[in-house]
Structures are given as C-alpha cells and as structure tokens.
Amino acid sequence: MLRRRPFVLGACQPDAPTDFHAPMTLTASEATYTEPHRPQVHFTPPTAWMNDPNGMVFFDGEYHLFYQHHPASTVWGPMHWGHAISPDLVRWEHRPIALHPDAIGAIFSGSAVVDAANTAGFQQGDTPALVAIYTQHSHRGTDTGRDDVQTQSLAYSTDRGRTWTKHGGNPVLPNPPAPGAAPLRDFRDPKVLWHEETQRWVMALAVQDRIQFYGAPDLKAWTFLSEFGADAGAHGGVWECPDLFPLTAPDGTMRWVLLVSIGEGGPNGGSGTQYFLGDFDGTTFTNANPADAVLWLDYGRDNYAGVTWSGVPAADGRRLFIGWMSNWQYAQIVPTDPWRSAMTVPRSLHLVQDASVPGGYRIASRPVEELRALRGDAVTLAGQTIASALDVRGITSVFEGVLTFDLRGAYVPFGLDLANAAGDVYRLRYDPAAQQLTSDRTASGAVGFASDATHLEPRFAPTVHTAPLVPAGDLLALQVVADVSSIEVFAEHGRVVFTETFFPSAPYDTVRLVADGGTAQLAAAMFWPLASIWN
C-alpha cells in the first residue's frame, strides 16, 4: 500500500488568492534567535512553519534558498515560498515571501534555474532571468475529492531574484499530462536541469511510486520522456522531491545520481532520502545497481526532501546540497516557538568508492568548507586512551568536532555524549564488534510530545537509530556539527551520515568522550565552538 501525504487542511479551502493572504499572526520581530532550541548555525525561518528547501540557485555571487512556508502558523498549511539569500552559504538574509498561493493553488516544492540563453523569453535587458518551476496544489480540488490537484507552473525574476512574476500560461505541465489519460494523484516537486548534450531542459518529477522525466526546449512545452523506479529501491511511502545530476569519483568514474525522498520507510523510520547511481542519456535513467539495492543519503531521522543548488559555476565544481532537518512523523509537534524546523548545514556531495555497498560506489556528504569561518579557538585533545569518560573542556552546545579513533584493539562501543545538569543525555556510539554507528536520543530531553491524530505516527520515537559502518582501515574518522537541538555526524569522511534533532530541557553544556565498559583509543581530536550566524 502506497502511503501518501493527505495534504488536508480541514475546512473546504478555495484556491483564490485573497483567501490565502490571511493576516500574519507571526511577525519576524517576534524572533530573537535566542529562543530555547533555536539553532545558531543552521538556517531557520524567523517565525512560522518551514518544510522542504526549494528553488536553490546560485546567481551573480548569491546563493538563493527558498522553502516551503506557512507564514501564518507553526504547522503546515497553504504553502508559500519563503526566501533567503546568502553570499557564502553561512549567513542568510531573510527576504520577503517570493511566491504566494493563487487561484491555481498553493505553491508546493520545486526548483529554480538561471535561463542564461533566455529559452523561455522572460529576460529583460542584459541580466538573465531566474525561472522557478514548482508544483501547484489545489486544496479546493483535494476537498472535493479530485485527483488532478497537482500541476507544474513557472514564475520568473528579472531582478536577481528580488521579485517574482508568475507566468501567464500556468500551469505549463497540466494534470493529466497527456490529453485523455487518467489524472495522477501525486504529481509533484519538479527538479529541472539543462541537459547539454540534447540541448534541452529535463524535469525530474515525483509521480506516486516513481520518477517521470519530461523534456522542454523552453521550460514551457514539456513532453514525456521516460519513467524510472516503480520496481527499484525503497517504497515505504510515496516518492517525493527528486534530483538528478552527474558526479565524478576521484578515480574518474562518472555516475548520474537520482535522489528520491520517501515520506515513510526511511532507514530508521519515517521520512528518508534514498539515491540511485546510474546513467542518464538525456531521455532515460538506467540504474547501475540491482533493483533491490537501497542506498541512503543519511541514516538519521532528520534529513528529508533535500536537493542541490543549480547554477553553481564550473570553476567551483561542487554539488551543493541542503535538506530539511525534520521528519514528517513529528515535524509539526516539536517543541519550538515561534518557528518550526531548520535546514541541515549545506553539504557538498561526492561520489566515492566503497566496497561495502552494492555497486562499489556511494555518495559521501561533507559540510561545506565555508562553515569553518564560524570556528572559535580550537580545543585540541592529544591521542590517549579513553577509560570510561573524558570531558572536553570549554565546548558546550554549538560546536564542530573532528575525531579520529584507532580501531586496533577496540572491542567496546565508544563515542560521544552530549549532556546537561538536568540529566538529559544524547549518545553517539561506534560499536566495533557490530560495525555499526548508533544514535541514541531516548534520554536526550523531551521525547514524548503530545500526539496529534493527523500524523501517521505522532511520536518523536525514542528509539536507538543505527547505520552499518565498515571502516576503510584501522582508523575511524568522525566529524560532528552540534547545534543546540541537532547533531550531524559525518563518519568516514561523509560516507555514513546521521542527522538527528533533539530537544533537551536545558542546553547541553557537557561534551564527553566515552567508552562503554572498557577503553577506546583516541588518535586525535579537535573541537571548535561555533559562532552564531545570526549575530
């Protein structure tokens, strides 16, 4: 059974614009960035609800980040595109809402491109237009039981992303996409790229349990190309938020990467992001791996709907990614106010060889180097034996750590605790016998949030999460970024990633290296407190 998101708002919702311009009940001035659980080095909206990152595009020295946003509330509702701009992926300037719901529907997830050759004809003057391609969702249609509620539309900006105009010919990809065909109930989240060899735009679109590809010369006249995935990968929930891009490994091997988020059935429960490695010839994606192979971008519960920036110059060469740091199982009930949800740190994605996964290649995710600008004075630990526990002096709730452990003679689980005087403790461990990384937030603070019947499984799920991790040699490398209410763990240079949120009753003020019931060999470690991006 395909588990799909119902997108129900309650009372019957007309799609007319005025009905969605409800007075803002939350204003930016209510945000102080010092509220309990407020991340200090992660992007959050000043106030109100946020989910997926959208429309990420680099243009003229600026990174644009749009996001699913319900400005009138801290729970999901009629979606807008919130907007922020950064010169460096670290510090963000909040911008006015870029796209409001209209008579066609609310503004669901999608992408944005630089139309350098003016294929769509939106350009005015010398500056190329930025074009956003997004799903419109008709709440009126959902309320009246229709299936054709999702279509794809365009908006463009001729002033470097400052203001946005909707295309008069919306929707550009109707539902059903071919006349006479049956409507497609889940038909959303277009990710568009320019395919150089075939000289056309390609759209990857999530359609129920598969990805469909469409092509267009001008971003407007889309034709069906192919589909992939009904019989491949994980299918615990409806497929959402695809991305398609090439990556080249250090050994010269090139793969096309197809990212696919699934709303249920992630590696440790709830939402998760899988990926396929293969080939894309401009029309068809061919999986290089067996159909039953599942590769996960992140083993934590809190990295969903992530996609990559378009328009990053070839001279930079990075494939830059950001994800929504939450999970549909509990996103709407986490104890934060006046905002809900953060993004992950921006990461670069790399294709690397790894004999422990099917096909021998996987994606490694690494925090972008720009984040180093936030590092304060380093706390360095020399190689030593950790017998039970060692506090890291001077490091509290917002920090980065780079640790290397020697696995020779390692028998007991070892790792890191984040703790506070109230007795809350989050535990990260590597178990050398089981070759497994574990993330334990069962005692991390608030875990039993009030349930809400609209959720599939309204629990923060106080369970221990695991990831298989086969180190490449005798050393285990861990990089961690902790930020008040989250930890991101990049093990073995990003091959195995854990992104997890937690809500301690008071900020963690103790960072402790631990070995459970024995000893561990620390080879070296450095920790840095990180400065707030909001100061």
Active site residues: 52
For residues 371 and 481, give the distance between their C-alpha atoms in angstroms, rounded to a whole number: 10
265: closest CA among 240, 289, 287, 243? 240
Q: Minimum distance between the CB of residue 108 and ligand FRU, rounded to whole angstroms?
A: 3
Min separation Cβ 68 and ligand FRU, Å: 4
Tell the smallest beta-carbon distance from residue 305 to ligand FRU (Å).
4
Whichever of 79 and 257 has its CB closer to ligand FRU, that residue is 79
From 52, 302, 400, 424, residue interacting with ligand FRU (rule: CB under 6 A)? 52
Cβ-based neighbours of 286, under 8 Å, separated by 6 or more: 278, 279, 280
Q: Which residues, 6 or more positions from 533, have their beta carbon under 8 angstroms from its beta carbon?
A: 40, 41, 42, 90, 91, 92, 374
Shortest separation between residue 376's beta carbon and ligand FRU, angstroms: 35
Residue with token string 């561990």: 520
Count of residues in the chain = 535
Asked if residue 189 binds ligand FRU (CB under 6 A), the reply is yes
Q: Is 43 helix (H, G, I), strand (E, B) or coil?
A: coil
Task: Give 231: exposed, middle or buried? Use CB within 10 Å, 0-12, 13-18, 19+.
Answer: exposed
**How many angstroms separate the CA atoms of 471 and 505, rounded?**
35
| Residue 51 binds to ligand FRU (criterion: CB under 6 A) | yes
- Smaller CB distance to ligand FRU: residue 270 or 494? 270
Q: What character string, x for contact with ligand FRU (CB under 6 A) and - otherwise, covers 414-453?
A: ----------------------------------------
79 counts as binding ligand FRU under rule CB under 6 A: yes
Site string for ligand FRU, 108-137 (x = CB under 6 A): xx-------------------------x--
Phi and psi at residue 13, to the nearest 5°: -115, 110
> Closer CB to ligand FRU, residue 122 or residue 222?
222
341 contributes a contact to ligand FRU by CB under 6 A: no
Of residues 302 and 424, the one with the C-beta less far from ligand FRU: 302
Q: Which of 234, 241, 349, 386 binds ligand FRU (CB under 6 A)?
A: 241
Nearer to ligand FRU among residue 279 and residue 457 (C-beta): 457
Site string for ligand FRU, 305-334 (x = CB under 6 A): x-----------------------------
Using alpha carbons, select from 49, 47, 45 the residue that is nearest to residue 65: 45
- Does residue 297 contact residue 357 with C-beta atoms inside 8 Å? no
Indicate which single residue of 2, 4, 5, 102 sits in contact with ligand FRU (rule: CB under 6 A). 5
Q: Select the residue interacting with ligand FRU from 64, 188, 350, 512 (CB under 6 A).
A: 188
Beta bridge partners of 496: 491
Phi and psi at residue 19, in whole multiples of 5°?
Answer: -70, -20
Name which position in 68, 157, 175, 326 contacts ligand FRU (CB under 6 A): 68
Report d(CA 239, CA 244) in Å as an integer.
Answer: 14
Q: Find, among 95, 103, 100, the residue nearest to 77 by Cα.
A: 100
Residue 3: CB atoms within 10 Å:
13
| Contact status, residue 519 vs residue 385, Cβ threshold 8 Å | yes
**305 or 381: CB nearest ligand FRU:** 305
4 contributes a contact to ligand FRU by CB under 6 A: no
Tell the smallest beta-carbon distance from residue 406 to ligand FRU (Å). Answer: 41
**Residue nearer to ligand FRU on the CB measure, 189 or 243:** 189
C-alpha 487/C-alpha 344 separation (Å) is 9
Least spacing, CB of residue 189 vs ligand FRU, in Å = 5
DSSP symbol at 370: G
Question: Does position 264 bind ligand FRU by CB under 6 A?
Answer: no
Total residues interacting with ligand FRU, rule: CB under 6 A: 13
**Minimal distance, residue 16 CB to ligand FRU, in Å:** 20
Q: Give the nearest distance from C-beta 270 to ligand FRU in angstroms.
A: 11
* Residue of 362, 477, 463, 472 lying closest to 430 (CA atoms): 477
| Cα torsion 292, 295, 296, 297: sign | negative
Token look-up 């109100």 returns 48
Return the number of the residue (4 or 91) whose C-beta is nearest ligand FRU. Answer: 4
By C-beta, is 438 or 501 nearer to ligand FRU? 501
CB 2, min distance to ligand FRU, A: 13
Residue 418 sits at the vertex; the CA angle it makes with 417 and 422, to the nearest 5 degrees, is: 120
Please report, as a single letter, which amino acid is at residue 250. Answer: P
Report the residue number, 237 or 346, with the smaller CB distance to ligand FRU.
Answer: 237
Contacting ligand FRU within 289-308 (CB under 6 A): 305
C-alpha distances in Å from residue 444, one per residue of 74, 461, 471, 487, 507: 23, 12, 27, 12, 11
459 touches ligand FRU by CB under 6 A: no
Q: Is 240 in the site for ligand FRU (CB under 6 A)?
A: yes
CB of 328 to ligand FRU, least distance (A): 7
In the chain, DSSP finds a helix count (H) and a strand count (E) of: 2, 33
Residues that bind ligand FRU (CB under 6 A): 5, 51-52, 68, 79, 108-109, 135, 188-189, 240-241, 305
